[in-house]
Amino acid sequence: MIPTPHIGVMEQGIIAETILLPGDPLRAKFIADKYLPDAVQFNTVRNMFGYTGTYCGKKISVMGTGMGMPSIGIYSHELIHLYGVKNLIRVGSCGSFQAEVKVRDIVIGMAASTNSNYASQYGLPGTYAPTASWSLLKKAVDVAAGKGIPVKVGNILSSDIFYDDNPEAWKKWARMGIMAVEMEAAALYMNANRAGVNALCLLTVSDSLVTHELVSAEERQNTFTQMMEIALELA
C-alpha cells in the first residue's frame, strides 16, 4: 500500500473500522486530545489531522474532512476503498431552518437533500435520496436517549452554496420540512451507500437562519461535546 495524495498512511490497520469525521481538523485534534488518551496521529497531509486511539476499550479513529462535498467525497472514498473503514460518522455544525430547532440542539440527518450535482456520476434514471445507515441511526438515537440528551431526527440539506445569491432561498427548503443546512452529508451518504458501508451525520446547531442567533468559531471547534460523545459510543 502507498499513501494517497490526501492520507499519508502506509499500511492497513492503522485506521479503525469506525471513524469520526469533523470538517475542521482542529475539531479532530480536540476529540483526540479529550477522548482518546492513547491517540496516535496517522495523518498530517494538507494539515488534515487524523488520529487513532481507543474509547472505552474500542478502537476508533477521527480525521478532518474539510468543507464541502468534493472534499468529504475524496476522504470518505479513500477511507472506504483503500483503508477498509466500515462506519463513517460525520460530526459537524449546521444552520437551523426551523424555529423549533434551536442553537446548540443536536440534529441527526436521517436523509440529506442537496442542491449538488454529486449524484450525476451514477447515471441514475431519476432523483436519488441519500439516506443514513439505519443501524447507526437507531444506535445514535438509543445512545442519546440513554444519556438523556434530546435529539432531532429528520431531513437536512447538504448545500454547495454558503453565500447564496438569493438570501431567501432557504425558506423554500424550510417549507419542505428541512431541519437544517450543512455542506457534506449527502456526498458521504452516497459514497457509503454505493460501497455498502455505514454512514451517519450528527450535527450541532451553530446558528439559526430564523432567529439569527449564532455561536463563535472557537465554540464550534472546542465544544459541542454531547454530539461527540454520542458519536464515540457508536464504535
CATH code at 129? 3.40.50.1580
| 108-129 pLDDT, tens digit each | 999 999 999 999 999 999 999 9
The structural domain count of the chain equals 1
Q: Is residue 5 part of a domain?
A: no
Q: For residue 138, what pLDDT is reported? A: 98
Q: Is residue 3 part of a domain?
A: no
Domain with 55, as residue range(s), is 18-233
Q: Is residue 29 part of a domain?
A: yes
SS3 per-residue string spanning 30-85: HHHHHHCCCCEEEECHHHCCEEEEEECCEEEEEECCCCCHHHHHHHHHHHHHCCCC
Q: Is residue 209 part of a domain?
A: yes
Percent of the chain past pLDDT 70, that is, above it, reads 98
Q: Is residue 2 part of a domain?
A: no
pLDDT exceeds cutoff 70 at 222:
no
Closest CA to 41 of 51, 33, 30: 51
Q: Is residue 1 part of a domain?
A: no
Q: Which of 4-13, 92-101, 102-111, 118-127 has the lowest mean pLDDT?
A: 4-13
Of 38, 105, 164, 207, the active-site residue reads 207
165 carries an active-site annotation: no
Q: Is residue 144 part of a domain?
A: yes
Q: Is residue 4 part of a domain?
A: no
- Inter-CA distances, 169 with 22, 165, 166, 173, Å: 26, 9, 6, 7
Please state the pTM of the whole predicted model: 0.97
